[in-house]
Amino acid sequence: MRENLVIFFSKGILSTLIDAYVVATRRIEYPVRPFAKIFRTNIMYDMLFFPLLSVLWVKLSYRDNLQKILWKSLIFSVPMSIGQWYFERNSKLFKWKKWTALHTFGSVSFTLLTIRGFVGAIKKIDHIKSKKEIAE
């Protein structure tokens, strides 16, 4: 449970920071968003949907080597890129100004791999810690 919470909150922070930058530089605009008077980004996507997806992503790739992790990242980043392309064209939820599906692919892949690397580092630290405790 602790690991799931770390994944969830760290992904929420990372995606919110990236989205805030992208919106501030006018690459994407969210005409329809929850809490529009408070946030310029889509806070539901950044703080709920994407973090939940990342918890699932880490669980699916938890015991994989780097090659499998990279392949599995495509399972998430390609459909999300295609889905965002479709919704940008067929809804008024967001507008791409200086953004494309390739940008979405890159940012989704980057954040997924960053969070997976973060979890890998935590696993390594926990492993070293438990070895040290056993030795004592």
- Computed over its alpha carbons, how large is the radius of gyration of the chain? 17
Contacts within 8 Å (CB) and 24+ apart, 104-107: 104/80, 105/77, 105/78, 105/80, 105/81, 107/18, 107/22
DSSP secondary structure string for all residues of 36-49? TTT-SS-HHIIIII
Give the pLDDT confidence score for residue 130 in this predicted structure. 77
CA 109-81-53 angle, to 5 degrees, is: 60
Give the pLDDT confidence score for residue 108 in this predicted structure. 93
pLDDT digits (tens), the chain, 136 positions: 888 898 999 999 999 999 999 999 999 999 888 888 888 888 888 898 889 999 998 999 888 998 999 999 999 999 999 999 999 999 988 899 999 999 999 999 999 999 999 988 888 888 787 777 777 6
Q: What is the pTM of this model?
A: 0.84
